Structure 1
Amino acid sequence: MKKNIAIIMGGYSSEVGISLKSGNVVYKHLNKEKYNPYRVHILKDKWVLVDDDENEHPINKHDFSAEVNGTNISFDAVFNAIHGTPGENGVILAYFNLIGLKHTSAPFYQMALTFNKRDTLSVVKEYGIPAATSVYLNKGDKINTNTIIEKVGLPCFVKPNGAGSSFGISKVYTQEELIPAIEKAYEEDSEILIESFLDGTEVSVGVIQYKGETKVLPITEIVSDNDFFDYKAKYEGESQEITPARLTEAQEKSVNDIAKRVYEILNMSGFSRSEYILVNDIPHFLEMNTVPGLTEASILPQQANHAGISLTELFGNAIEMALKN
């Protein structure tokens, strides 16, 4: 008997449009002979099941069901395609946990932890994982630009703590640019981090649960046409994403080993895509994305393709892993 699968997409953050694209790709490629997929838009003003005619049917939040043409639709599992809040930060996953509904992501605590860049760095650094030097600020803190620059140097990066898709990120070259960059980051989050610039090769690597095993996917080298891997570089073609990355055998092994170790340190499951910069052949951890882009052109699907895994297999495996948990 086919399983009913809710593909949740949208969300409450700046990434809503990107999430809708990812979710629709999942809907397109999911095996319709095995599953009954349904698109569910989770938006600030409504939760609705959207049918093939684009009609909207309200979601009953009591049990996450919907009535469609007189038939009550309940779900066997949820495919999480929400970038940002409330999907990637674990909020809606805690709700699913309460009502006993299985989903494709890691448990809500792991999702909340990895969505918080500052907390993730604090954990992995305790395990000896190399990372940039950081300064943390909360909105309202007094700002001493001299002290910040003395610690992280110039250039440096200013980032919102809980935003994705490079929203709110600035590369700062001078002391005068620091305050405007901080204000920009605060538009996305009340917590920010300021990191030292790491000069080296940037790579992105997917680690997933595949057929019951932790699998490291082929590494992608990021070569941005811009000053860094910003929104335009990610989504508007202003970068080269080279898979497999142009690394030596030793570099590749180093990245694979540390990526798998970080995945396990953080007790992850489901999808992940992490960014590293190789400095003197040593991978330095930047951050982990637990709901990475899932369009045909996105990095993790590219990596899966190079590993011989189709989108249908990739998405179907995530659902099967969720159903077995």
Structure 2
Amino acid sequence: MKNTIAIVMGGYSSEVAISLQSGAVVYKHLNKDHYRVFRVHILPDRWVALDAEANEYPIDKNDFSFIINKEKITVDCVFNAIHGAPGENGALLAYFDLINIPHSSAPFYQMALTFNKRDTLSVVRQYGVPTATSVYLNQGDPIDEVAIIEKVGLPCFVKPNNAGSSFGISKVAKMEELLTAIEHAYKEDNEILIESFLNGTEVSVGVIEYKGEVVVLPITEIVSENDFFDYEAKYLGKSQEITPARLSKTQEENVRALAKRVYEILNMSGFSRSEYIFVNDVPHFLEMNTVPGMTEASILPQQANEYGISLSELFANAIEQALQKTTQN
């Protein structure tokens, strides 16, 4: 009998459109001979399951079931394709834990932790992981521009704390630009961080659980046509994503070892894609993305393909890993 899989997509953040693209690709590549697959659109005002013709069926939140042609359909496993809230910040995953439905992501606490850039940096620094120098602000805090620039230097980056896809990020070259950048970041989140500029090669490293093992995928070098790896660079073709990255043997060894270590420090499971910038041969950790893009052109699928894992295998493995953990528990 086929397991019933729900691909959750959409969500409540600025990343809705990207999530819908990722969810559509997962739906396309999951083997329908092995799984009974439905997309579930998570909207602020309703949750609906979609059949192959995109007809909508309301979700019963008591047990995440829905009814099609008088058949009550219950879900055996959830594939999480929600970038941002409530899928990437752990909220929806805590709900699935409460109703005992396995899912493709890490446990809800790890998801919440890694979605919070400031908290993630605080944890990994305790383990000696190199990072940029940073200042944290909450909306309403007094802003001492001189003190901030004295600490982080110029240029610097201003980022929302809980947001993805580079929404709300600005690169600040002059002190006069700082307040505008802070206001821009506060449109995405009421917590922000301001980080020193690291001048070096930027790479993205996928680390996943594959067939029960932690696997570091081939590394991608990011070469942005813009000032940094912003939304245009990520999604509108304004960058080169070179896999495998053009690194020295020392650089590659260093970042592969650190990426695996960070994954284990944070007690991760499932998917992750982390960003690093080299200062000389030393990779500096920027952030971790636990629901990376899953389109054919996205970085982690590119890396998996280079490793020899097709999209169908990548997505099915995530489901089988989740189901296996449930069986073991």
TMscore range, shorter length: over 0.9
Partner in structure 1 of residue 312 of structure 2:
312
CA offsets per residue over residues 14-53 of structure 1, 9 Å max, x none? Answer: 0000000000100000011111110000011110001122
Give 3-state SS (helix, strand or coil) of 1:60's partner. coil
Alpha-carbon distance between aligned partners in 2 of 1:210 and 1:55, rounded to the nearest angstrom: 34
User: Unaligned regions of 5+ residues in structure 1, if any?
Assistant: none
Alpha-carbon distance between aligned partners in 1 of 2:247 and 2:18, rounded to the nearest angstrom: 30
Are 1:106 and 2:112 counterparts? no
Partner in structure 2 of residue 93 of structure 1:
93
Give 3-state SS (helix, strand or coil) of 1:129's partner. coil
Alpha-carbon distance between aligned partners in 1 of 2:240 and 2:68, rounded to the nearest angstrom: 44
Alpha-carbon distance between aligned partners in 2 of 1:252 and 1:35, rounded to the nearest angstrom: 38
Partner in structure 1 of residue 169 of structure 2:
169
Aligned residue runs from structure 1 range 164-313, under 5 A: 164-313=164-313
* Amino acid corresponding to residue 60 of structure 2 in structure 1: N
Alpha-carbon distance between aligned partners in 1 of 2:313 and 2:54, rounded to the nearest angstrom: 27
Alpha-carbon distance between aligned partners in 1 of 2:97 and 2:39, rounded to the nearest angstrom: 20
* Amino acid corresponding to residue 91 of structure 2 in structure 1: V
Partner in structure 2 of residue 62 of structure 1:
62
Alpha-carbon distance between aligned partners in 2 of 1:297 and 1:23, rounded to the nearest angstrom: 14
Give 3-state SS (helix, strand or coil) of 1:75's partner. coil
Partner in structure 2 of residue 143 of structure 1:
143
Give 3-state SS (helix, strand or coil) of 1:12's partner. coil
Are 1:132 and 2:116 counterparts? no
Q: CA deviation at 1:248?
A: 1.0
Partner in structure 2 of residue 19 of structure 1:
19
Give 3-state SS (helix, strand or coil) of 1:323's partner. helix
CA offsets per residue over residues 276-311 of structure 1, 9 Å max, x none? Answer: 001111000000000000000000000000000000
Alpha-carbon distance between aligned partners in 1 of 2:55 and 2:88, rounded to the nearest angstrom: 26
* Amino acid corresponding to residue 23 of structure 1 in structure 2: G
Give 3-state SS (helix, strand or coil) of 2:62's partner. coil
Alpha-carbon distance between aligned partners in 2 of 1:222 and 1:86, rounded to the nearest angstrom: 28
Give 3-state SS (helix, strand or coil) of 1:79's partner. strand
Q: CA deviation at 1:320?
A: 0.2
* Amino acid corresponding to residue 102 of structure 1 in structure 2: P
Give 3-state SS (helix, strand or coil) of 1:102's partner. coil
- Residue identity over aligned pairs, in percent, reads 74
Alpha-carbon distance between aligned partners in 1 of 2:74 and 2:310, rounded to the nearest angstrom: 28
* Amino acid corresponding to residue 68 of structure 2 in structure 1: V
Alpha-carbon distance between aligned partners in 2 of 1:322 and 1:248, rounded to the nearest angstrom: 36
Alpha-carbon distance between aligned partners in 2 of 1:115 and 1:272, rounded to the nearest angstrom: 11
Alpha-carbon distance between aligned partners in 2 of 1:321 and 1:232, rounded to the nearest angstrom: 34
Partner in structure 2 of residue 8 of structure 1:
8
Q: CA deviation at 1:162?
A: 0.4
Alpha-carbon distance between aligned partners in 1 of 2:37 and 2:278, rounded to the nearest angstrom: 40
* Amino acid corresponding to residue 50 of structure 1 in structure 2: L
* Amino acid corresponding to residue 246 of structure 2 in structure 1: R
Give 3-state SS (helix, strand or coil) of 2:17's partner. helix
CA offsets per residue over residues 61-100 of structure 1, 9 Å max, x none? Answer: 0000001121111010000000000000000000001011
Give 3-state SS (helix, strand or coil) of 1:194's partner. strand
Alpha-carbon distance between aligned partners in 1 of 2:87 and 2:280, rounded to the nearest angstrom: 36
* Amino acid corresponding to residue 196 of structure 1 in structure 2: S
- The number of aligned residues is 325
* Amino acid corresponding to residue 150 of structure 2 in structure 1: E
* Amino acid corresponding to residue 277 of structure 1 in structure 2: I
Structural RMSD (CA): 0.4
Alpha-carbon distance between aligned partners in 2 of 1:53 and 1:258, rounded to the nearest angstrom: 45
Alpha-carbon distance between aligned partners in 2 of 1:275 and 1:251, rounded to the nearest angstrom: 14
Aligned residue runs from structure 1 range 31-42, under 5 A: 31-42=31-42
Alpha-carbon distance between aligned partners in 1 of 2:272 and 2:297, rounded to the nearest angstrom: 16
Alpha-carbon distance between aligned partners in 1 of 2:254 and 2:78, rounded to the nearest angstrom: 34
* Amino acid corresponding to residue 291 of structure 2 in structure 1: V
CA offsets per residue over residues 124-174 of structure 1, 9 Å max, x none? Answer: 000000000000000000000000000000000000000000000000001
Give 3-state SS (helix, strand or coil) of 1:312's partner. helix
